[in-house]
């Protein structure tokens, strides 16, 4: 199944002679290389921190747009991709499962690939794609019909296509895959359709499956030897320990945001989504491994440890948000930690070696569903915080409650960043609440499996989005920036004491990493919901970000959607640079 593809032959040929293969070493060292970005997260740990300091608080006002590339056609919607750069070529994905290679100096297209999508795709939250992976001579990305596509990175021609899951069952893929130790690792989307989440590894050169690990207790994991599946243990040891009856067979826990990797412990970190259905009264128990963070052995997919943020989730508080590895010193000792800002409104710091809970605290202004966390990080539920059981009501739905945060989360998919110099995390977050109620529901293959209704609403008159600087050692909010519309784009931070993110109003913005002072803004013409990157080329520092309003907010936002209903869609890739004359210094390594 080959979609539309073409190359500007002379230009693509010229680039191919200069291009080099992307190695495992390149990917492992991506966080420290200045002239390339070859992993999702600007390094496998996902810190989104650049040590390049040419661009800084003194000169960021001189940052200039140098080119803008249009994704074209009528295919707009949300553009949540993170670009990648190698040997002067930028690789980026766009809505409706499209991929592009672009000359990073001029913005000229080298090739384009459009996946041929079937009519019956069932993406939950817009037709977005968050990015791809570079490896060898390949650019690999996933599609809305749950396939992996490997393209020759120099020509755009298809090398292989593999089906990861059946889209007719409700599966899709929107996350960027990652490469770890020569393996292509991917998750799946589809938690609203009663699928079973999983993490899988493939040979990036051939597309052959290497292992699979389901993320719902009771399902068998496998490794593949000579094309044959060999059992590798049941997730959780056995079925039904934390699920009633057979509900584990359609339990959800989609791994829809992809993962990060920590070389110190040789561990993949993946988050899992909501249990299915949303109506928690139908599935008493913790419902493992939904709404959790999983530590995975990259060799065979075995689960090393887990940490569940919302047991028996009844609010759609997916636990998929990125788990970012970082070190800090305490009492003269280095703590190997990992942090995540959960949809449920709590920020968690874990020991990444064993998953032990170190500390947790609210990072949003108000949480109604829980009164706090116990000594093990387990939520202490509010008696009146859970939507009522329809079985206790004479009507068709249970007693509604007002819950905060709303199900779109204190923080949703948009990645936060960690600055190694300030020691702070920069968290894109939102202040909103929801009316939520439960309804009767039964599973039907390929159909929505919710058992709940909801309406999201703002809680403040003048802002919804909040960019927060958070100290993970104390829980202190060091500074905050309030934005009228919800924040839905990723964050990047640099050694130049800068924090970059975008807004739905269309602005790419830069802030002082220590104080939160806004230092730069540029209007891209449509909402920025992508993740910015930075790199160096020809002695100058560049910044790139996709622009194109969309994603879950205008589709699921209820009363909040009224705030953004006039925002224009778009589909652009913007690239900026700091001219040499404005820099006044040499290139530093990242």
Catalytic residues: 316
Closest by CA position to 307, among listed 324, 322, 321, 319: 319
User: Which parts of 309-408 are beta strand (E)?
Assistant: 324-330, 333-341, 346-351, 357-362, 370-373, 379-381, 401-403
Q: Is the Cβ–Cβ distance between 398 and 437 less than 8 Å?
A: yes
SS3 content of the chain, % helix, strand, coil (to 5): 10, 40, 50
Q: Is the Cβ–Cβ distance between 221 and 233 less than 8 Å?
A: yes
Q: Is the Cβ–Cβ distance between 560 and 517 less than 8 Å?
A: no
Closest by CA position to 306, among listed 321, 284, 291: 291
As a whole number of angstroms, the distance between CA 544 and CA 449 comes to 38
What is the total residue count of the chain? 590
Closest by CA position to 420, among listed 484, 470, 493, 368: 493
Q: Which long-range contacts (CB under 8 A, 24 or more apart) does 224-227 make?
A: none
Closest by CA position to 325, among listed 340, 343, 310: 340
Closest by CA position to 151, among listed 166, 136, 167: 136
Alpha helices in 497-560 (DSSP H): 553-556
Alpha helices in 65-120 (DSSP H): none
Q: For 459, which DSSP code?
A: S
As a whole number of angstroms, the distance between CA 411 and CA 149 comes to 30
Q: Is the Cβ–Cβ distance between 63 and 520 less than 8 Å?
A: yes
């Amino acid at each position: 199944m080959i979609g539309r593809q073409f190359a500007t032959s002379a230009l693509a040929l010229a680039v191919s002679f200069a291009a080099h293969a992307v190695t495992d070493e390149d990917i492992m060292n991506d966080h420290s290389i200045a002239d390339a970005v070859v992993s999702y997260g600007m390094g496998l740990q996902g810190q989104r921190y650049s040590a390049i300091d040419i661009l800084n608080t003194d000169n960021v006002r001189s940052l200039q747009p140098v080119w803008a590339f249009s994704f074209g056609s009528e295919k707009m919607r949300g553009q949540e991709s993170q670009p990648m750069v190698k040997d002067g070529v930028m690789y980026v994905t766009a809505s409706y499962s499209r991929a592009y290679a672009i000359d990073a100096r001029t913005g000229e297209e080298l090739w384009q690939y459009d996946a041929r999508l079937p009519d019956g795709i069932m993406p939950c939250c817009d037709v977005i794609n968050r990015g791809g992976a570079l490896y060898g001579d390949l650019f690999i990305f996933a599609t809305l019909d749950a396939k992996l596509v490997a393209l020759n990175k120099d020509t755009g021609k298809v090398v292989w296509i593999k089906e990861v899951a059946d889209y007719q069952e409700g599966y899709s893929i929107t996350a960027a895959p990652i490469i770890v130790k020569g393996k292509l690792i991917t998750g799946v989307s589809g938690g609203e359709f009663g699928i079973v989440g999983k993490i899988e590894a493939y040979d990036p050169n051939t597309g052959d499956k290497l292992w699979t690990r389901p993320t719902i207790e009771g399902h068998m994991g496998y490794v593949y030897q000579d094309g044959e599946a060999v059992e590798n243990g049941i997730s959780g040891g056995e079925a039904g320990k934390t699920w009633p009856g057979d509900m584990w067979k359609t339990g959800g826990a989609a791994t829809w945001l992809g993962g990060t990797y920590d070389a110190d412990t040789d561990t993949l970190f993946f988050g899992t989504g909501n249990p299915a259905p949303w109506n928690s009264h139908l599935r008493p128990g913790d419902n493992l491994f939904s709404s959790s963070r999983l530590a995975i052995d990259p060799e065979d997919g075995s689960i090393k440890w887990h940490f569940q943020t919302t047991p028996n989730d009844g609010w759609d508080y997916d636990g998929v948000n990125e788990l970012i590895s970082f070190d800090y010193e305490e009492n003269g000792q280095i703590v190997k930690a990992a942090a995540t800002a959960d949809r449920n409104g709590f920020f968690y710091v874990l020991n990444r070696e064993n998953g032990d809970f170190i500390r947790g605290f609210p990072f949003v202004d108000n949480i109604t569903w829980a009164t706090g966390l116990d000594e093990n990080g387990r939520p202490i539920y509010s008696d009146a915080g859970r939507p009522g059981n329809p079985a206790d009501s004479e009507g068709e739905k249970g007693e509604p409650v007002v819950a905060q945060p709303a199900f779109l989360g204190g923080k949703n998919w948009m990645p936060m960043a960690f600055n190694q110099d300030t020691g702070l995390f920069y968290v894109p977050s939102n202040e909103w609440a929801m009316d939520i109620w439960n309804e009767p529901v039964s599973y039907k293959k390929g159909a929505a499996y919710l058992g709940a209704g909801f309406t999201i609403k703002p809680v403040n008159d003048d802002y919804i989005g909040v960019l927060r600087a958070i100290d993970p050692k104390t829980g202190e909010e060091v500074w905050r920036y309030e934005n009228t519309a919800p924040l839905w784009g990723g964050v990047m931070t640099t050694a130049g004491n800068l924090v970059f993110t975008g807004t739905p109003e269309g602005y790419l913005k830069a802030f002082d990493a220590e104080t939160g002072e806004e230092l730069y803004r540029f209007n891209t013409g449509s909402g920025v919901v992508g993740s910015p990157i930075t790199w160096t080329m020809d002695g100058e520092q560049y910044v790139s970000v996709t622009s194109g309003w969309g994603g879950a907010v205008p589709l699921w936002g209820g009363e909040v959607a009224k705030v953004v209903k006039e925002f224009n869609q778009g589909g652009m890739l913007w690239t900026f640079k700091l001219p040499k004359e404005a820099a006044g210094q040499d290139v530093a390594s990242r």
